[in-house]
Structures are given as structure tokens and as C-alpha cells.
Amino acid sequence: MRDERLTSKWGPEDEIGAVNEITPAKVLEASQLIRTGKICRLAQVFEYGMPHDWFHGEFTYCTFRSHENSSKLFASKNKLGAMNLRLELADHTGTHIDGLNHTSIDGRLYNGFSAKEITGTFGTSKLGMEKTPPIFTRGVLIDVASLHKVERLEPGYVISAKEIESYLIERKMNIKRGDAVLIRTGWGQLWMVDNEKYVGSCPGIGLSAGQLLVDQGAAIVGVDTSNGEAAPCEDPKEMDAVHQLLIVKNGIRIIENLELEGLRKAGVAEFAFICSSLPIKGGAGSPISPIAAF
């Protein structure tokens, strides 16, 4: 049975959450932000030995078919060769987006669905990644590291609502309903440089910042860390409380492990954010390669 206390404002059968705010008008508005035709990739490179959270497991891959061997298999007159790789990865590998079935509160998912009732061998029968539509919306970069004039924030640093508000006021920016809000901590500089530190205690948003993003109508919250929030949690007895606030209570998807250094160097704070996930039926997340166009 559904927990009525978690019923979505978009209706009891809704499975897409805050991306409901990304209307056709919102897409057209975002497209107007593309003025130079430049594009910045926001995904970290998928490669052997890249950082991974122990909960999700490591990324492994290898050459499966080589040009040399396949040319012998085909034995064609035109000497065709082909290759491919085999990959093993979790749906939360590398730069990825969390599904609305990823996090729960006492066994209850977004919109009050019971995790026990809808989970089977192949993920969940509701809220799976096949329900996540392609995302094309206005993107906003909140560079908290630059606000404090540091290369990166300290491990466990909790970003508050006041800091986000101060950043927006100083730069005469705002957050609009349906936006993708990307939070830069500078932590991405550690990717493939100090992986152990990268996946350890990290800076990130706290509950007050999370609530501000909810109130402002953000559809997506992205971070350049392995967690969508400060780790450890503000309350040492709690874990991933911001995940519960954003995903379970408000249907806001979180994107983790973003590469935001290129966007910072480009000096761009507002852009068209474009992202499409793998429609994995029942999946709880998906690797992605989002872009910023400006």
C-alpha cells in the first residue's frame, strides 16, 4: 500500500517527479541560452581505476573483440575488422543520475510507493529509469568554492542556504522552476588524482540548502562529488538525509560525479543543460554524459 503522506503534488500515479517542471516552454527558454554555439562536456571520463563508491562496486572493462581476431572470424574478401569492449558496471557508476527509486524513507519511495512491493529481480516495476525523460532545461552553476576563494572546499563542509543565496545575489542570478542547479565544490579536481580522498568525506549541500533548492523549484541538483550532499551528514545519527529530502519527498533527481572545472574555466554560469539517461527498465540510476551548451 502507498504511504499517503508522501503522495506527490503531481498526482498519486506520477513517476517522473520534478522534471514535470520542464515544460515545452521551459525547453524553448533554455534553447535561447545557446548564443556562442560552444559545448562543454560535464561527465568524468570512464576508465580503468576511476573512483567508485564501495556500495556500487568498481567499473571493469576489457577488449572483447579485437580487429586482428575478428578479421579471422569474418574472413571476408575486403578484410573487414571490428572491435568492441565488454563492460561491467553498476547503474551508479561514474557521472550518473539517481532514479526516483534509489532512496527510501523506512521502505517508502517517492510518491509513497512501497519498495518491498515493487522491487523484483530486475529492479522496480515503478519509478525505473525508463520513466526518466530526456532533460533539456536551463542550467545554473553555483560555484561555492569560488565564493570562498578556494580551489576546493574542505572534507565534510556543509553548504548552507545562506551561501547559495549570497552567491546568487552577488552575481545577480536566480533559480527558476525546472532548472538544473549544479553545485561546484572543487572536489572534482581529485578525480583520478587522489581517488581515496575523492570517495571519502566530501563537501556538499546541507538540509537548509536542499530545502532552498526545493522551494526555488529546482528539477535537478548536480554535484562534483561522489555524494549529492555533505558527507558525513550534519546529524551524525543520520545518513543521506538530503537524498531523502530531494528524491523521496520532492522527486528531485541528483546527479553525482560531474566534471565542472571546464565550465568554471569557461566563465559560464547560465547555460542550456542537456542530459539523457539509459532507459534501463527498473533501473535505480544511469551513467550519463550531460553537456552544457552556451
Say if residue 4's pLDDT is above 80.
Answer: no
- What percent of the chain has pLDDT above 90? 96
The DSSP-derived string for 190-221 is GTTTSHHHHTSSB-EE-HHHHHHHHHHT-SEE
User: Mean pLDDT across the stretch 49-69?
Assistant: 95
Tens of pLDDT, residue by residue over 152-207, are 999 999 999 999 999 999 999 999 999 999 999 999 999 999 999 999 999 999 99
CB 173 within 8 A of CB 182: no
What are the counts of helices (DSSP H) followed by strands (DSSP E) for the chain? 10, 15
**Phi and psi, residue 188, nearest 5°:** -60, -20
pLDDT at 130 over 90: yes
Domain 4-45+92-293 fold is Glucose Oxidase; domain 1 (3.50.30)
Cβ neighbours, 10 Å, residue 196: 8
Angstrom distances, CA of residue 198 to CA of 149, 185, 186, 231, 242: 20, 12, 11, 11, 19
Q: Where are the domains of the chain?
A: 4-45+92-293, 57-90
User: Is residue 158 classed as helix, strand or coil in its secondary structure?
Assistant: strand
Nearest to 122 by CA among 272, 291, 293, 280: 280
Q: What are the E-state strand segments in 94-179?
A: 96-98, 119-120, 123-124, 135-143, 158-159
CB 285 within 8 A of CB 291: no
**What pLDDT was estimated at residue 75?**
86
Whether pTM exceeds 0.85: yes
